[in-house]
Amino acid sequence: MSVRIMGTGSALPKKCVSNEELAQLVDTSDEWIRERTGIGSRHISTGETVVSLAAEACCKALENAGRKGEEVALLLVATCTPEDALPCAACQVQDRIGAAKAVAYDLNAACAGFLFAVHTAWAYLEAGIYDNALIAGAEVLSKIVDWNDRGTCILFGDGAGAVYLERCEEARGGILSFVQHSDGGRGAVLSCAGREQENPYFHGEHRHPYVQMDGREVFSFAVRQVPEAVREALAKAGREVKDVDLFVLHQANRRIIEGIAKRLSADMERFPMNLERVGNTSSAAVPLLLDELNRQGRLRQGMTLVLSGFGAGLTYGACVLQW
Ligand code: COA
């Protein structure tokens, strides 16, 4: 028995914003952004929502797998930017894609959210509780970004990606191993306040309602912890760095990915990137890139892939799979 990704999909808002356009909003330049991050443009919502983007990505993943909404047993949406506190984004996506039989709920582990959701689904499928799962990572980060802060607004973009997983009789391949970690003690380095504590009996202090980040701390966390998680997941799968065909990593920053590659002593050709075009889309980043690779025909049967996500929490994880 194995658990396999049978289909992928993704969705991006129509509007693409270049670095030059951002330089009209804040004191920055295309040169600075490209040099420090590798990002050239990002898609920003002009009305698209987490639900609309996730639903579009989910429909494409189902179509890619040759499956229908009514067949879905488990539907998870990883997001830290849902439109509504209630009902959750996954239940709204369920309604839009006609997945009436699915159990649907959201999961928030920021940029590691998609990986954590796949791990959750994998556990259900391995345990025989469900036969399949549809998992989306979807974000509209543009609504929690401070558009006056040049240190953060240049990094993020909106979008969604999805995968459809199925339990197969085949004993080999599919998802081979997982690791996931959380470090709440360092959570303050990347944060965003939620709604105010406010009721007739209590008025909480006002908190900054936008993303706040200590960029250098986040940078060194990613470059240190991700290679460790990748090695841990590879060891669990009985594989080594040299066995990996592609490392599909969270698309936060080109320099972070280069730092991770260096620590793993792996050549950069094995680290595909799309952050130049889409920026950091948080939980959408890994499935978005995976879908692009899939549709470009770059994923061949039998290939060994490592997926890894990392971000606010702090949270990070890695997965080894055979395509
Ligand atoms: N354009 C021009 N200058 C900018 C700028 C921008 N968009 N953002 C910051 N600067 C300036 C700063 O004000 C600072 O100026 P000063 O020296 O006069 O004070 C200078 O550039 C250096 O700032 P610093 O924050 O130290 O730069 P950095 O080299 O650490 O790069 C990041 C900043 C955000 C690109 C980098 O820290 C990073 O990528 N961190 C990881 C962030 C991340 O990926 N977060 C999401 C994880 S899921």
Residue nearest to atom 2 of ligand 1 (CA): 28
Structure tokens at 15: 């509007």
**318 and 40 in contact (C-beta within 8 Å)?**
no
| Region 161-173 average pLDDT | 89
DSSP 175-221: EEEEEEEE-GGGGGGEE---S--EETTEEPPP---S-EE-HHHHHHH
Ligand 1, residue 252: give the atom nearest the CA.
44
Q: Which pLDDT value is given to residue 200?
A: 93
Positions annotated as catalytic residues are 111, 250, 280
Using most ligand atoms within 8 A of CB, pick from 19, 33, 36 the residue to mutate for ligand 1.
36
Ligand 1 contact, 191 CB (< 6 A): no
Give residues with Cβ within 8 angstroms of 12, minimum separation 6: 43, 53, 158, 159, 160, 278, 288
pLDDT in tens, 25-69: 999 999 999 999 999 999 999 999 999 999 999 999 999 999 999
Q: What is the mean pLDDT of the chain?
A: 96
| Nearest partner of 250 among 208, 306, 207, 170, judged by Cα | 306
Neighbours of 78 (CB within 10 A): 35
**134 and 201 in contact (C-beta within 8 Å)?**
no
Residue nearest to atom 38 of ligand 1 (CA): 215
User: How many residues are listed for the chain in this entry?
Assistant: 323
| Region 79-94 average pLDDT | 97
Give residues with Cβ within 8 angstroms of 80, minimum separation 6: 108, 110, 113, 139, 144, 192, 282, 283, 312
Residue 172 has pLDDT above 80, yes or no: no
Q: Residue 219 — very low, low, confident or very high, per pLDDT cuts 50/70/90?
A: very high
**CA–CA separation, 41 and 34 (whole Å):** 9
pLDDT in tens, 177-191: 999 999 999 999 999
Q: Which pLDDT value is given to residue 170?
A: 78
Ligand 1, residue 311: give the atom nearest the CA.
48
Place of tokens 């558009």: 147
Exposed e or buried b for every residue in 231-268, given b needs 16+ CB within 10 A? bbbbeebebebeebebbbbbbbbbebbebbbeebebee
Residue nearest to atom 26 of ligand 1 (CA): 216
- For each of the domains in the chain, give its residue range(s) and CATH number, in order of start: 2-168 (3.40.47.10), 174-322 (3.40.47.10)
pTM of the full structure:
0.96
Structure tokens at 91: 């239940």
pLDDT in tens, 245-259: 999 999 999 999 999
Q: Which pLDDT value is given to residue 158?
A: 98
Ligand 1 contact, 34 CB (< 6 A): no
Q: Residue 134 — very low, low, confident or very high, per pLDDT cuts 50/70/90?
A: very high
| Region 77-100 average pLDDT | 97
Residue 111 has pLDDT above 90, yes or no: yes
151 CA → ligand 1 middle, Å = 5
| Nearest partner of 315 among 54, 119, 162, judged by Cα | 119
